[in-house]
Structure formats: C-alpha cells, structure tokens
Amino acid sequence: MKNDNIFAAIRAAFPASADAVAIESGDNGATYSWHDIDTITAQFANLLTSLKLPAGSRVAVQTEKSVEALLLYLAVLRAGYVYLPLNNAYQAGEIAYFIENAEPAVFVCTSKTRSWIEPIAIRCKVAHCFTLDDGSGTLLDAARSHSTEHVVAQKSAQDLAAILYTSGTTGRSKGAMLSHSNLLSNARTLLDYWGWSASDVLIHALPIFHVHGLFVASHCALLAGAKMIWFAKFEPQAVVNRLPDATVFMGVPTLYVRLLAEASLTKAQCRNMRLFIAGSAPLLIETFNAFRERTGHTILERYGMSETVMLTSNPYRAEDGERRGGTVGFALPGVGVRVRNDAAAECAIDEIGGIEVTGPNVFSGYWQMPEKTKEEFTSDGWFKTGDVGKRDARGYFTIVGRSKDLIISGGYNVYPAEIEGYINDLPGVAESAVIGVPHPDFGEAVVAVVVAKAGNAVDADAMIASIKANIANFKVPKRLFVVSELPRNAMGKVQKNVLREEHKSLFAESSKRVAQR
Ligand code: MCA
Ligand code: AMP
C-alpha cells in the first residue's frame, strides 16, 4: 500500500552507500551517516510509539539547533505524529499560549529551560516532557534502549505533518496546519527547479523552527541524498571558511549582509558553489548587486510563507530566464499565483494588488480556527497572502508591500499589535504604536512610540528592559520614544505612515558599520 508519509520519501532517497556522510557538524566535525539518520530516527520513533499517544498527537519542540533536533523532527514524521517547532527565543508567556492552543502530548525542551517549561506543561496537562541538548538529555537516554528498526507509519497525503505558528494577516498566532503532501509536493518541485543532485553539499546555518531552515533547506538536501554542513548558529566567518567545500547556501537577507561584511568572502572562496538562495524577507537590490560583484554569483531570490511553503522563485537555469534582483521570480510549477485589486478583479500587467495563491502546497487551515481560516481564503478557494505585489509581462512577481501589519526583522516576523499589547499593559502607559523602520542589518527594526498617562513619567530604557523580560528578544523594540500624542487622521486612526516617515533614518548612520544590533 502506498505510504504518503514524507519520511517514507526521504528514506527512499537515502543513497545506496549508507555509510557516506549525510550531515557533518561545522562546529565540531562530528559526522552522521545515512545509516545513523535511519537508526537514530528509528529509536526516537520507537520511543514515541511506546508512549501510546493518541493518533494525531502534537510533539512540541523548543530546543537549541542540533543534528539530534533535526532527527527528532524526522522521527516525529516517521512515527506519524505532528511536529510543532517553537522559536527558541520564546519566553514563558509565549510558550504558555502555544501549549494551551495546540495541546501537545509531548514537549521537548532543553535542560536549561526545563525548570520553567515543565510547570507550564504540567499545568496544561502535557503528558510527557523530555529534554534534548546537543548530544545529551532525557530524550536520548530514553531512546537508547529502543530498537534501531522501525516501520514508517502509514499516512495519507492529507494527514497532518506539522503545525507552524504564524500570525497570518492579523491577530494572535495561529497554527498553520501543513500536511505530508503540502510538504512533499513543494520539496519535490524545489528539488527539480533548483537542480539538486546527490553531489550537492548544503551549508545549513538557519534555525530549524521555521519553514526556511526546517523544510526548504533540510528537505531539499535530504531528498537529493546530498550532504549538509550543519552550523548550530550563523557565524559569517565560519560559513565563508566552509564555502569551498559546499555547492549550495540558503539564507535570509541579513545573512547575506553579514557575509558581505567579511573581507574573506571572495570569488575564489565561492569557486565550487553553484547556488546562493535568499528569502523570508525582501533582499535589497544593493545586497544583490554587491554580492554579484564580490562573488560572481547571482543570488536566486524566492518567496514563500508558513502557510504555503514556497510560492515563487527566480529561475535557476539560464534557459528559463535571468535572476532579476528586486523580484521574487515566477510562480513555481504547479502553484497558482494571481494579483487582484480591491474589486476582486485580476490586475493588469504591472498593476499592484493583493497576492493570492493556490496549489498542492497550500495549507488546509489554522489549527482549531475555522472562522479565521475562512476569512483568509477567497470564495473560490485561493489563500490571501496579505502581501501586495505585481506581475510583469514576463511573469516575474515583485512584492511591493504588505496589507498585513507585519514587521520582518532579520527574517523573523513581528506583529505590532502583540508588542503594543505588552507596552500598553506597562504602568503609566496610555497608548503606543509599534512600527518597522529600515535597518542596515535586520532589514527592518522594531521601534515603539509611547504616550504616557497624564501625570505619569515613563522611562524608555526601563520600559525596554521590562519588555525584554517577557517576550522573545528579536521582538523587543530597538528604540522607544516617549511622545505627548500619536499622529491621527480625521477618523482618529493612528497614522503609522507618518511615524515611519519620521523615524525612517533612525538607523541610517549605522549602515556602513552594520552596528546597533
Ligand atoms: C537576533 N536579534 C535580533 C534578531 N536576531 N533582533 C532583531 N531581529 C532579529 N532577527 C538580536 C537579539 O535580540 C539580541 O539582542 C542580539 O540580536 C543577539 O542575538 P543572537 O541570537 O546572538 O543574534 P544572531 O545570532 O546574530 O541572530 C541574527 C540572525 C537570526 C542570524 C539574523 O535572527 C536568524 O537566524 N534569522 C533567520 C530567521 C529565519 O530563519 N527566518 C525564516 C522564517 P540583545 O542582545 O539586545 O538581546 S521562514 C519564512 O519567513 C518564510 C516561510 C520564508 O519565506 O522562508
Ligand atoms: P512567515 O509568516 O514567517 O511564513 O512569513 C511569510 C512572509 O514573509 C510573507 O508573507 C512575505 O511577507 C515575507 N517574505 C517571504 N519571502 C519574501 C521575499 N523574498 N521578499 C519579500 N517578502 C518575503
């Protein structure tokens, strides 16, 4: 019987030489063969199966990046459960929300975070809590006694493989439900479109709690039977040092800005590379041009979302066209992308409108939020991305903005309403507005503008420190201004465009130094 479990496809793609290196740690040189991937994921999967979890159970994971953490992801698929990755910057309030919403049966954290996560997990009736550190932890201890043989769980195409929390176009975080076929269809498309083969070597330096590092990068390498050089954290010099051993690199724009700041990034160092891919946020044309000049390589920019995995890509093969900086390329094969105006009519060439998408990669909905799901699909079933863009006569798409109130900082999404909520709850605060302004390193930086209650004095630094204690560090405003009132239009709505204009040069003086991180 056909098994649509994406892990079955990944396993079938393992090279015949099982002892060949599949993953090499760029940090300490440790290596993992394809055989190791098979046996360790089998042990993890057998451990999960032994817990007798209900079908469809969620396994929530907030750990540091390690090879074992990737193998845990693969094992959750292998055992037929649903993987729920969480950014390791999230703090107690954020984690409590995800646990309450997703009701995972298992939570895997680190030995450092266990003291505050386990009480939340217990309160929320999570049945099992494990730790996983780099090469140690209770999960590895428990898995060791399990068999290294495991029959991949039978799954149908529409069965849930993962839930990725994202705020969609508005409001609180929603769990985007991705099926085995959403993930596999997209990975197969990318494999072909980007010309992957078993002789590729990928430098993997992205976090593995989002689509980019977890799905796009890992799936392509695994399904190609290609080796990965695995870095727990992105260190530009370490990546440049390993470029001669690699053929493919993927990064958010900030990674390219930081690579360019290394004088050792040269054409010679990139001599064996065949492809540099960028996405998750807009790649500035200055970065695109500077990278081509320095390395001789033209970055391929692509566009996607948590709800859809990848949607468009600049061409890889010259016969399909040139890679055009400032654009996100063509709709991927099998993916429908259209631009519609406010009257819901298809836009003309070069006319700006809302981007809507359809295809086998598009998620089925938000976890237990049927109403929210309905709001974000059109009546004819296309998903409204909340991105604003246009298509040119040759079919290249350009993203020109967002209708959703979203800041993308260093490839991480920050929702102003969430941060405003925290600030407004601080003592002495009447109201606030959170905006994104250009930043030379992160692309956009979070900035807050705050009005104090009458008769209260509020201190910007103290407020930043207080916010920092409660939410993921990348969401914390880099600067906070206290003002007497917020600009409003005739309808009384806060004019964030006025604030963005006022603060647009805040980080400009640091553009040469890439400072103020
Ligand atoms: C770190 N900091 C940040 C960010 N990252 N500030 C704003 N935005 C950020 N993204 C701050 C921390 O708060 C901290 O400040 C200081 O920088 C150092 O933290 P550290 O963790 O050491 O930073 P880093 O290692 O230099 O990280 C920067 C980074 C990282 C490597 C650019 O943010 C990163 O890996 N970004 C990639 C995100 C990604 O993979 N996105 C894909 C999403 P302080 O000291 O004041 O506390 S998937 C997606 O979007 C879609 C589907 C798609 O199309 O791919
Ligand atoms: P996420 O919710 O993390 O999946 O982020 C998805 C959003 O990232 C998209 O809706 C876009 O706004 C943005 N994005 C991803 N890739 C690109 C890109 N190449 N250029 C501009 N924006 C992008």
Pair 52, 179 in one domain:
yes
Answer yes or no: is 58 within a domain.
yes
Residue whose tokens read 């709850």: 425
Asked if the structure places residue 154 within a domain, the reply is yes
Residues 35 and 178 in one domain: yes
Hey, what are 107's tokens? 């939570």
Crossing angle between the packed helical segments 416-424 and 460-468, to the nearest 10 degrees: 110
The verdict on 131 and 50 lying in the same domain is yes
Query: What's the CA gap between 314 and 321, in Å, rounded?
Result: 8
Nearest-angstrom CA–CA distance, 258 and 513: 11
| Residues 373 and 441 both lie in one domain | no
Nearest residue CA, atom 33 of ligand 1?
Answer: 410
Nearest to 281 by CA among 168, 163, 387: 387
410 and 396, same domain (yes or no): no
In a domain, 37, yes or no: yes
Is 69 part of any domain? yes
Is 25 inside any structural domain?
no
Gap from CA of 304 to ligand 2 centroid (Å):
6
Q: At a CB cut-off of 8 Å and minimum separation 6, what does 88 contact?
A: 62, 63, 64, 65, 207, 209
Question: Which residue's alpha carbon is at the smallest distance from atom 47 of ligand 1?
Answer: 473
Looking at the fold, whether 362 and 434 belong to one and the same domain comes out as no
What is the structure's pLDDT at 405?
85
Q: What is the CATH number of the domain that holds 131?
A: 3.40.50.12780
Task: Pick from 178, 214, 305 the residue to mutate for probing ligand 2's pocket: most ligand atoms within 8 Å of its CB.
Answer: 305
Q: In 333-428, at which residue ranges do the beta strands (DSSP E only) sit?
A: 336-340, 353-358, 365-366, 383-391, 397-402, 407-409, 412-414
Asked whether residue 398 falls in the same domain as residue 418, the answer is no
**Long-range Cβ pairs for the range 125-128 (8 Å, 24+):** 126/60, 126/99, 127/51, 127/53, 128/51
Count of structural domains, the chain: 3
Residues spanned by the domain of 410: 406-516
> Based on the domain organization, do 391 and 410 belong to the same domain?
no
CA of 137 to the centre of ligand 2 (A): 34
Q: What is the CA radius of gyration of the chain?
A: 23
Report the distance separating Cα 37 and Cα 73, nearest Å: 11
CATH of residue 393's domain is: 2.30.38.10
* Helix, strand or coil, per DSSP, at residue 201: strand
In the listed set 157, 187, 217, which residue is the last one of a domain according to the structure?
187
**Low pLDDT (below 50) residues in the chain:** 512-517
Please name the amino acid found at residue 410.
Answer: G
Residues 369 and 477 reside in one and the same domain: no
- Same structural domain for residues 381 and 421? no
User: Is 192 inside a domain boundary?
Assistant: no
Domain boundary (377, 402, 427) is at 402
| Any domain includes 95 | yes
Residue-level pLDDT at 79: 98
* Measured distance CA(348)–CA(344) in Å, rounded: 12
449 Cα: distance to centroid of ligand 2 (angstroms): 25
Q: Please report the pLDDT score of residue 404 as a whole number.
A: 85
Single out the residue of 146, 149, 178 nearest to residue 161, CA to CA.
178
Domain annotation covers residue 319: no
pLDDT tens-digit map of 33-73: 999 999 999 999 999 999 999 999 999 999 999 999 999 99
Distance 409 CA to ligand 1 centre (A): 7
Same domain, 11 and 156: yes
Tell which atom from ligand 2 comes closest to the C-alpha of 385: 10
* DSSP SS3 for 157: coil
* Pocket (CB within 6 angstroms of ligand 1): 206-207, 210-213, 233-234, 252, 254, 279-280, 304-306, 409-412, 442, 473-474, 517
pLDDT at residue 510 in the model: 58
DSSP code, position 255: H
Residues 398 and 448 in one domain: no
Domain end, chosen from 172, 187, 202, is at 187
Taking the centre of ligand 2 as the mean of its atom positions, its distance from the CA of residue 260, in whole angstroms, is 22
Does the pTM exceed 0.85?
Answer: yes
CATH number at residue 436: 3.30.300.30
- DSSP, collapsed to helix, strand or coil, labels residue 499 as helix
Question: How many angstroms separate the alpha carbon of residue 388 from the centre of ligand 2?
Answer: 11
